[in-house]
Amino acid sequence: MAKLKKDRKINIIDTTLRNGEKTAGVVFSKHEKIRIAKMLDGIGVPEIEVGTPALGEIEIDIIKAVLKSGLKAKLFAYCDADIKAIETAAEIGAKNVVINISTSDIHIKKIYKENRTWLINKLREAMRAANKLELDFIISAEDATRTDLEFLLKLISLSKKKGAKRFRICDTVSKFDPFRTFMNISTINNAIDFPLEVYNHNDFGMATANGMAAIRGGAESIVVSIGGLGDGTGNAALEEIVMALRYLENVELGIETAKFREIAEYVAKASSRAVPIWKAIVGTNVFAHESGIHADGVIKNPKNYEVFNPAEVGLTRQLVVGKHSGSHTILHKFKEYDIDLTDKEANDILALTRSMSVDLKRPLFDKELMYIYKDYKSSAKKGD
Amino acid sequence: MRELDLLTDFSQKAGTTIDPKDIKIDDTTLRDGEQTAGVVFANDEKIHIAKMLDKVGVHQIESGIPAMGGDEKEAIKRIASLDLNCSVLAWNRPVKNDIQASVECGVDAVALSISSSDIHIEHKLMKSREWVLETMKAGVDFAKSHNLYVSVNAEDASRSDMEFLLQFARTARDAGADRLRYCDTLGILDPFETFLRVKNIIDIIGIDMEMHTHNDFGMAIANAIAGIKAGATYVNTTINGLGERAGNAAFEELVMALKFVEGVDLGINTNLFRSLSEYVARASNRVLPTWKPVVGGNLFVYEDENKVKGVLSDPSTYELFKETDVGLERQYVPGKYSGINSIKQKMKMLGQKVDDKQAKELSEIIRNKTVSSKRSLFDSEILDTYKEYMGSSKKTKTGKGKDKNG
């Protein structure tokens, strides 16, 4: 299967500060928002959604501060398709806005309690306002994956005609798998020559795969967040998309990935959500090997069980000694402490290690290994 | 050209229905789940998990590695003797002693695992392709002589040379293996690549296939589904996606994705998902993230005004399944992103009635309090806020309200 063209330009826009913060229970302080924006900018993320001005004074104060912090990244304010919200964004100095509107019949009927004609007018008014205020804008179609395709195409051509920069397709309820996503985006892409952006939720664990499928289908831009932080199950994770592009598609975005772990940790603290140790790309367990087969393979050659070097994302490799360890791990582990075990010693210590690990229901610390070794040696002496 | 045809093929298949009768789950929480660095289950926990898996309707349980002996072997023996509805499988290297240990445990099925990639053959096994084929064949022969159901696992299949993998699959089939497990050991495939490769093997060799996918790039579920679309009939899952490194395809996510995205209902009892996930989270000493797809505690917790407005009007505005489908609860938590509808709903649940104007003013006060405390407010704090607000608005109205701080 052909990979993407190497020179293909893919944009990412990070929404940690907007949809990430919208997660029920997550609140960033002003200081944290500025810090996160700087971190994203520092590693080379080209576009950032900063916040929602319509929330009022507190949020406006924070957005202003981020706008003024001298970042290279293009900064977006997020607005509903509402003239007042767009005016507020312009007043506080935003140059770029995302204008969001729900486009599925179910949302039009149940949330707006209106019809499609009303929606088109609302979108027109919003774009008129944005143009009048000389804002660059992206139109975001919420629940686009449950929107009638013909109607969606109509909205995209309208947005194109009125000067939008891109059109965002939101899979708000995680309706699609990668195949449907690919078909959907290719179909739209073939029908209208206009830059598409995708926004995926992770309700069935497919946000990243759907984002990648959309890119394969011709989307130019993808919405991400650090660690996938976002309302409900969250969004496509920044670190997963960047690394998947690099290693599965050979597309290099030029992001400084060595900072991924550090940034993930910062956002975890600010959002009061620990990074799961098994989190793809940045979890501390991703480069921890315990089972005999895996650890043995990694000791012989990391390539056996690793696609990239841990340092590339700011992690380190660990050999964990526990129930599933094999004698090679024991030999290797003791070599770290300048102790050369014989094969017999390694096997005996392995048996002791396994049984202790099962008793404790956890792997052993290096120190505990040393105790086992000392006990073993002294009992072996007695036996002599 | 063939690739282009296949692209069209899977695009079409994306819309077709898979027959639920054909799809079987082989859960490996007890084997690959426990193999995760740092995870050890007690034997009683293993028994409990096996019983729960059987109860929700899993088709096969990968119960462990008999060759490890001791406690591990004991647990497998006990699981095999539980008289479960599902099949009980044990993991082996294709080695006589390993398989003999499985026979002693009384399981009805074995997985025989061996690497098929040149990287593993050269750098891990330090053997040749021929040796791999011979070893695998001998293993199948031995297992079959004991009338066991045999899954041959092609470890690191996704980095294997396709020609050799086909030869591997053919050898397994001819030796009498019942299925081939395609292991994306490093989680390096995307769904399109997965589809093409699995379809290729099924088309040419015609053997039952099982998907074993890892989540290193966040694609375990999507890849498992791609394999099913290509014709694989078994999926190797783990509860909570527990597994080496970034883990495996999560059982609960796969079942719900099949049901609600693909329209394939396996008849699994999903109501028990939350309790199953909580149990495994505790037994594996790993907190269940509140945002975990399908079973996270936060999935039906609403703060955002638009969403609250939507789900109050009709839950299907933002939900493809109900909270009770997976054993979760619905909550409304006012916060920074709340507005009139969210506040009215919350106050109603707290037994207080407010009008639109009051709800709007209250939402602003609650927004400020949420931001300054950097978290959602407790119900008691919301009630206090409400009482303070009512007191002060009475005061401005009548000019003689009680001074709360007085």
| pLDDT value of residue B14 | 52
Does residue A358 share a domain with residue A235? no
Residues on chain A touching B34 (C-beta within 8 angstroms): 323-324
- Please spell the DSSP secondary structure of B5-63, one letter per residue: HHHHHHHHHTTSPP-GGG-EEEE-IIIIIHHSTT----HHHHHHHHHHHHHHT-SEEE-
Q: What is the H or E stretch that residue B235 is in?
A: strand B234-237
Please tell me the predicted confidence (pLDDT) of residue A383: 59
| Confidence (pLDDT) at A183 | 92
- CB pair distance less than 8 Å for A203 and B375: no
pLDDT of residue B9: 58
In the prediction, which pLDDT does B332 show?
93
A282-300 mean pLDDT = 84
Q: How confident is the model at residue A346 (pLDDT cuts 50, 70, 90)?
A: very high
> Which one of B44, B291, B373 makes the best mutation probe of the A interface by having the most chain A beta carbons within 10 Å?
B291
Contacts of B319 in chain A (CB under 8 A): 173
**Mean predicted lDDT score pLDDT of chain A:** 94
Q: Would you say residue A22 lies in a domain?
A: yes
Tell me if chain B has a CB within 8 Å of the CB of A311.
no
Smallest Cβ–Cβ distance between A286 and the set B220, B246, B294 belongs to: B246
- Are both A255 and A292 inside the same structural domain? no
Q: Is residue A162 part of a domain?
A: yes
Instruction: Indicate if the pLDDT at residue A40 is higher than 70.
Output: yes
By Cβ distance, the residue of B35, B195, B318 closest to A291 is: B35
Chain segment B195-208, per-residue pLDDT in tens: 999 999 999 999 99
pLDDT on residue A81: 98
* Cross-chain Cβ contact A212/B219 below 8 Å: yes
The pLDDT assigned to A123 comes to: 98
Q: Do A173 and B219 touch (CB under 8 A)?
A: no
3-class SS letters over B244-302: CCCCECEHHHHHHHHHHCCCCCCCCCHHHHHHHHHHHHHHCCCCCCCCCCCCCCCCCEE
Q: Show the domain range for A181.
A: 11-270
A235 contacts in B (CB within 8 Å)? Answer: none
Residues A215 and A161 in one domain: yes
Cβ separation B367–A209 shorter than 8 A: no
Cβ distance B35 to A324 less than 8 Å, yes or no, reads: yes
CB contact under 8 Å between A304 and B320, yes or no, is no
Within-domain flag for A216: yes
- B218 vs A237: CB contact, 8 Å cut-off? yes
Q: Please name the residue of chain A whose CA is at the shortest distance from the CA of residue B240.
A: A278
Mean pLDDT (whole number) for A277-289 = 93
Q: Collect all residues of chain B within an 8 Å Cβ-Cβ radius of residue A24.
A: 298, 301-304, 333, 335, 376
Question: Domain total for chain A?
Answer: 2
Cα gap B304→A9, rounded to integer Å: 34
Preferred mutation among B244, B280, B287 to probe A, highest tally of A CBs within 10 A: B244
Contact A278 B302 (CB under 8 A): no
Half-sphere exposure at residue A335, Cβ-oriented, CA atoms within 13 angstroms: 11
Among A22, A277, A279, the residue with its CB nearest the CB of B304 is A22
Determine the residue of chain A that is closest to B193 in CA distance. Answer: A1
> Could you tell me the pLDDT band of residue A3, with boundaries at 50, 70 and 90?
low
Asked if residue A241 and residue A137 are part of one domain, the reply reads: yes
* Topology of the domain covering B2-283: TIM Barrel (3.20.20)
Q: Does A208 touch chain B (CB under 8 A)?
A: yes
Residue B297's pLDDT is 94
Does residue A180 belong to the interface with chain B, where contact is any CB pair within 8 Å?
Answer: yes
pLDDT (tens digit per residue) in A120-164: 999 999 999 999 999 999 999 999 999 999 999 999 999 999 999
Note the pLDDT of residue A95.
98
| Residues in A touching B241 (Cβ below 8 Å) | 205, 278
Query: Residues A97, A144: one domain?
Result: yes
* Boundary of a domain, candidates A241, A270, A299: A270
Task: Report if residue A47 sits inside a domain.
Answer: yes
- Mean local confidence (pLDDT), A289-305: 81
Residue A359's pLDDT is: 87
Write down which residue in A270, A302, A319 finishes a domain: A270
Looking at the structure, tell me whether residues A193 and A307 fall in a common domain.
no
Mutate to test the interface with B, among A4, A18, A27 (most CBs of B within 10 A): A27
CA distance A363 to B23: 36
- Within this chain, do residues A340 and A231 fall inside the same structural domain, yes or no? no
Structure-token pair, residue A58? 């507190």
User: Do A325 and A198 share a structural domain?
Assistant: no
Tokens of A306: 């690793």
Pick the range with the lowest mean pLDDT from A14-18, A41-45, A315-319, B57-61: A315-319
Across the interface, of A110, A179, A202, the residue whose CB is closest to B313 is: A110
Best interface-test mutation with A: which of B13, B192, B193, B366 has the largest number of A CBs within 10 A?
Answer: B192
Residue A304 pLDDT exceeds 90:
no
Contacts of residue A283 in chain B, CB cutoff 8 Å? 245-246
Say what the pLDDT of residue A319 is: 82
- Name every chain A residue with its beta carbon within 8 A of the beta carbon of B291: 23, 228-229, 232-234, 273
Give the gap in angstroms from C-alpha B175 to the nearest C-alpha of chain A.
Answer: 25
Same-domain check for residues A142 and A253: yes
Does one domain contain both A300 and A206? no
Q: What is the pLDDT of residue A366?
A: 84
A2 located within any domain: no
Same domain, A128 and A93: yes
Do A233 and A291 lie in a common domain?
no
Give the pLDDT of residue B405. 44
Nearby residues of B354 by Cβ (< 8 Å), 6 or more positions away: B343, B344, B347, B362, B386
Cβ of B221 and A303 within 8 Å? no
- Residue numbers of A between 330 and 349 with CB closer than 8 Å to B: none
Q: What is the pLDDT of residues A188-240, one digit of tens each?
A: 999 999 999 999 999 999 999 999 999 999 999 999 999 999 999 999 999 99
The boundaries of every CATH 3.20.20.70 domain in chain B are: 2-283
pLDDT tens string, chain B, 406 residues long: the values are: 345 455 555 555 554 568 888 999 999 999 999 998 889 999 999 999 999 999 999 999 999 999 999 899 999 999 999 999 999 999 999 999 999 999 999 999 999 999 999 999 999 999 999 999 999 999 999 999 999 999 999 999 999 999 999 999 999 999 999 999 999 999 999 999 999 999 999 999 999 999 999 999 999 999 999 999 999 999 999 999 999 999 999 999 999 999 999 999 999 999 999 999 999 999 999 999 999 999 999 999 999 999 999 999 999 999 999 999 999 999 999 999 999 999 999 999 999 999 999 999 999 999 999 999 999 999 999 999 999 999 987 665 554 444 444 3
Q: Is B293–A233 a contact, with Cβ atoms under 8 angstroms apart?
A: yes
| pLDDT at residue B12, as a whole number | 56
pLDDT, position B406: 36
pLDDT of residue B10: 58
What count of Cα atoms within 13 Å lies in the side-chain half-sphere of residue A215?
29
Domain of A288, CATH number, reads 4.10.430.20
How far away is chain A from the Cα of B192, in angstroms, using its nearest Cα?
8
Tokens of B363: 């939402």
Q: What is the CATH number of the domain that holds A39?
A: 3.20.20.70
